[in-house]
Structures are given as structure tokens and as C-alpha cells.
Structure 1
Amino acid sequence: MRVVSLLPSATEIACLVGGHDMLVGRSHECDYPPDPSSHAHLPVLTAPRVTATQPAAIDQQVREALASPQGPQSLYTLFADRLAALAPDVILTQDLCEVCSIDLATVRAVAASLPKPPQIVSLNPQSVEAVLDDILTVGRALDREKSAQDAVVRLRERLYYANEFVNPFDDGPVVAFLEWTDPLFCAGHWTVQLIERAGAQHPWNPTIAKADAGAATGPQSGERLAGKSKRMPDELLVAGQPQHLIICPCGMDLAATRECVDALSLKPWWHQLPAVKNHRVALVDGNQYFNRPGPRLVDAYEWLVGWLQNRPELIPENFTWLDWDNRK
């Protein structure tokens, strides 16, 4: 079987379930697992069209592309000739966010033009449970269903273990989670679930129980969903008086995140935040963890519980984060 992955989380999942030897092409963002033999040598099939490097400029280019008079424009280039030459049987892609990776419509159009149209497996998770389900979906598509089931069991065990350190009867502190810094965007989807399950509140975009799900607490917490990340005024962040602040810009590594926070810390309201006053500001590599809906969301949850509940032994050894006060 010949598999192309146009999504970093899908590449991680494919490798997790034992399908690394099936991969014949990847996106420019596929950078994990770190083992070069798994994907680094594969042809790169996509490239970004956004050329800006600063958060405000990136946001402006994205908005202009999506609001084009000719209709929304793709933010990525898909090299159709390269894809056709690989003759894939399966393409792993997504339909969750047109900003984060190549859009499904572009993939479908190119795939339909191939002599032998491949199976398109599009992932669209909006919750922790859906991310785990995606592992099973990829496992079935790659004929690695048993490996996928075993992987999900292991990941669930880690989630349940970390959850044992959370008091379910306490609403917990207010945590602000920023997925973008200029303008501000708060957390959405699975990240809000992780925050609440780690024993905290995220009032800017809280989870809401599905209809007929009751309170949807405890083992039924998967029935509580949050909307996508959304823009919020600076004043709204300050009004929420967060006791903890996590800054994790989508698509940025830790070095770029640090530059973003350097700029953010110059805002006149920065020192009004309780999180800043109480030295509870964390920077996280969003490109690798919270913003990538793959197996390492479990690492993100373990870090979150460890940081919020003062259980450092839960934090994965190689988790990429930085305490703002210890940035030097």
C-alpha cells in the first residue's frame, strides 16, 4: 500500500500504528517522529503561500486570502505533478481547519484527476475522543487495525492515570490559553476539554454538554464540547483575571513563541494579569503539542495536569515548554 500524508498529525498516527514503511509522500509540516527513516526522506508535496513571519502580518494575509473577491483561496500549494507521480492508494488529509493545513477541496480536486483515484481519508476531530477515534480510522485504512486498537488502549491508560491527580469536585483556577497573540485567540475544541479535565476553567470558550447528555461529567466528559478557537479583545482577557496563562501559538515552535510573548509583555495590561503577578506563565511549543490533534495530545494533558496540580513527575521528560520567569 502506498500512502501520502498531507497532515502532520496523520503522519504521527501512521507511524504509531506501524505504517511508516507505507508512506511515500508528506506535507512540508510533517516533522515527527524524529527518526529520519520514518518520513524525512520522503518527497514534500505542499508549501505555504503565507510569507509573513510576524503574528499580526500572518493574520492579515490569512484573512485576505479567505475573504478574496474570487472566493476563499487556499493557504497552501499542493504539487499535483509530484503527487501524481507517487500514485498513492491512500491520502491522509483533513477538513478541520483551512488555516492549519491543505484544504480538503484542493486535495479532492487533484485526487480526482489521477488515473487511479486514491482513497481519501479526511480527519476532522473536534474532541479528545475524536482524536483517538482518528487513530482507529487511520489504522483501518492502512490495514493496521489491531496496532491502532492497542495504541488507543495505551493512550487511554495514560489519560486515565493523569486524571487520578485531579479533584473532580473543585472547579479549579481560571486558565487562559492563547493560540495566537496578535490578535489574541483563545483555545478551542480539544484544548478546552484538556484544560477542564486537568482541573481548571477556561471561561472564554467553555465546553457545553450535548443535548440530552445531562451534566456530562466524569466518565461522560467526552459529551462536553467546545467551539473552535476564537478571537477575543485584550480587554476580555484582562477581565477574566486568569490565574494561569499558557501561550501556545498555532504552528510556532518555542523560539518563535518566546518572541511573541516578548512583544505581548510590552502591552500596558500585561502586569495586570494575576498569572503574571504570581509567576504562572508558561510557553509551550504549539506546533508539536496542543495544536496538533495526534497522539501527543496525551503528552500535553500529562504536562497540563503536572503543571496545574503541582505534580512535576507527570510531565513527559522531553516536553517542550518554558517557564516565562526562567526564560533567561
Structure 2
Amino acid sequence: MRGRVKILSLLPSATEIVFALGLGDQLEGVTYECDFPPEARSKPVVSDTALPQDRRLSAKEIDDFVASSMDRREPIYTLDRELIRRVQPDLILAQDLCRVCAVPSGQVEDALSELGCSSQVLSLDPQTIDEILEGILQVGQATRTEHLADEIVAVLRGRLGHVRARASGLPSVRTLCLEWSDPPFVGGHWVPGMVEMAGGTNLLNGQGKPSKRVGWSDVAGAAPEVVVFMPCGYYLEEAETEVEGLFDVADFAQTPAARLGNVFAVDASSYFSRPGPRIVDGLEILAWAIHPEAFPEPPADRVVQVR
């Protein structure tokens, strides 16, 4: 693509990548969740949620709504087709990794076909941190900003290498990352690899595998020494409120992490749920939670040690 590229981003992580590449002025539409950098909030919303917005839903209500929508094969997200028709984008950044997280690229391509648009759809579907960085390079290639993408990735790789090197000689700590509370899910995709990189032994799931529903008896049986509560799409204040309820669950309260005060709530939306440049900040948060003796404490607006 040459000249100005009209971009639609259907992923908060992709929006962050676009701005990091200096292309914010070419972004013609974003999702309702795109809030970083703050300038993203001023962009037209092309993808919205079908979740009820009249009140705050509990974790179980959100899970029930999503499960019901998937059973009925109803979309969880909506697309502003009129905006797509009007913009006639050159490039749409989408995903097929998780129907629950964002609009799947198949839904996008169906809309483009109906509208007669010939946009390029770039699907970003990382399963590991390395693939997250590769996604930045892919967006750079699609927008002819390869040099800047290379520079960004080089800096991020340097930070990753620093964490790896510092954690390599430390004893491994049994670590559980909870991505949802009702019902309980453990983190998947890139999260297990982050735990291993930060000097932990990830419990109940493996790198590159989807997030996984577990039982509280599984959590107790895993005997985590550290629990990091990272509910998908939640910011720190929401996560901190939600995590308190976990201590009412007997199987959770008896874990070594709960008994020893090694339970952490994090800003998951910013640093764990979105596979973009800030995922490396998430790794640094994890490294401190797992090995506070070896890593600097992150800013207070990113993580809280609950009890």
C-alpha cells in the first residue's frame, strides 16, 4: 500500500499497534473498548458489544450471556456497516483467535462482501509473546512502516531478554493465572509462556492453548504458591473488587497462595488481555509477583497484592 492507508481496527491491541507506528491519523474506526492511547477514544466506533449496557453485569452473568449467544450462534459484537461503506478502508485489522474477545474475521469478510468492499483483512492471531511481536511486524509491513516496527520490536525483545536472564537462575514458583472467576478459567494462549519466562511454573494449562475452564477442586489440587487474578477485559479496580470474593471459596482459601498472602489482582485489560506492545509490561508485572526479591515493584495502578 502506498500513500495514506485508511485503517479500521477491530482489536484494542491492534489500535495500540497502529498508534505506536505513528499512524493514528490514518485510523478511521476502532472498537468500543479501544481506550489506549487516550486519543483512540476520539475515533468513530465501528465495532460494539451486544452485551447489555444498562447495568454492571457480574462475572457469571457475562459468562451466561456469552455462552447463550454462542449456543444460538448469535454475534457477540456488532459492526457499523454504514461506517465501513462510507470509509471504504484499505486495511482492516481483525482476529480469529477468540470469538468472545472481538469480532471474528469471518464476520468482517461477510460484511465486506455484502457491502462490495475490497479491503485487505489482516487477521492477528498470536498464541505466544513471540507471535505478538510478529504481529507488530505484520502491521508494519501492511502499512509500509517496517523500519519503525523493527525498532519497536527490538526494544521489546530487549526487555523480554532482561526478564528471562534475571529469572533464569531463580527457583521456579508454582503460579496460577485466573482469567475468570465465575466459572473459574485459567489463562491460556500467551499467558502460560509469560509465567515460565518470569520464573514460574504455570499450572493447569499450557502455552498456546486456549483459556481453560477448571473446577475449584482443580485449583486446590494444583496448590499454587502465587495466584495472579487477571479477569479478561477488567481494569485494576474491577479486578481488585472481584478478587475478594475468591476468598469465600473454600478450595481457593486453602491454597498456599491464599494462606501466605501471595494473591495479586492486576490491570488485565491493559497488560494481559491485549496482545500488543504493553504485553511486555505485563511480563514485568508477573515477574515481580512471582519473584519480588529480584524484580522492581511495578506502579501501583497496575497490580495490587490483595492479601
Find the residue that maps to 1:151 and give its secondary structure: helix
- 1:303 and 1:316 in contact (8 A); partners too: yes
- 2:9 and 2:29 in contact (8 A); partners too: yes
Q: What do the CA deviations read for 1:172-212 (whole angstroms, capped 9, x no partner)?
A: 11111100000000111110000011111123013xxxxxx
TM-score scaled to structure 2, two decimals?
0.93
**C-alpha deviation, 1:160, in angstroms:** 0.4
Hey, what's the Cα distance between the residues in 2 that align with 1:314 and 1:84?
A: 49
Summarize the Cα distance change of 1:312–1:25 in structure 2 as closer, same or farther, 3 Å threshold. farther
CA RMSD in angstroms comes to 1.6
Q: What do the CA deviations read for 1:60-82 (whole angstroms, capped 9, x no partner)?
A: 111111111xxx22101111112
Q: Aligned letter for 2:305?
A: D
Deviates more, 1:262-271 or 1:85-94: 262-271
2:70 paired residue number: 66
**C-alpha deviation, 1:257, in angstroms:** 1.3
**C-alpha deviation, 1:313, in angstroms:** 5.3
Hey, what's the Cα distance between the residues in 1 that align with 2:258 and 2:61?
A: 26
Find the residue that maps to 1:140 and give its secondary structure: helix
1:40 paired residue number: 41
- 1:176 and 1:186 in contact (8 A); partners too: yes
Identity of aligned residues (%): 32
- 2:219 and 2:252 in contact (8 A); partners too: no
Q: What are the equivalent positions in structure 2 for 1:284-303 lying under 5 Å apart?
A: 284-303=266-285
2:220 paired residue number: 238
Q: Aligned letter for 1:45?
A: V
Hey, what's the Cα distance between the residues in 2 that align with 1:5 and 1:21?
A: 13
TM-score scaled to structure 1, two decimals?
0.87
Q: What do the CA deviations read for 1:88-136 (whole angstroms, capped 9, x no partner)?
A: 1111111100001112111111122334411111111011111000000
- 1:55 and 1:180 in contact (8 A); partners too: yes
* Gapped regions of structure 2 (runs ≥ 5): none
* Gapped regions of structure 1 (runs ≥ 5): 207-224
Summarize the Cα distance change of 1:157–1:126 in structure 2 as closer, same or farther, 3 Å threshold. same
- 2:285 and 2:303 in contact (8 A); partners too: no
2:103 paired residue number: 102
1:203 paired residue number: 203
**C-alpha deviation, 1:53, in angstroms:** 1.1
Summarize the Cα distance change of 1:21–1:312 in structure 2 as closer, same or farther, 3 Å threshold. farther
- 1:299 and 1:319 in contact (8 A); partners too: no
1:161 paired residue number: 162
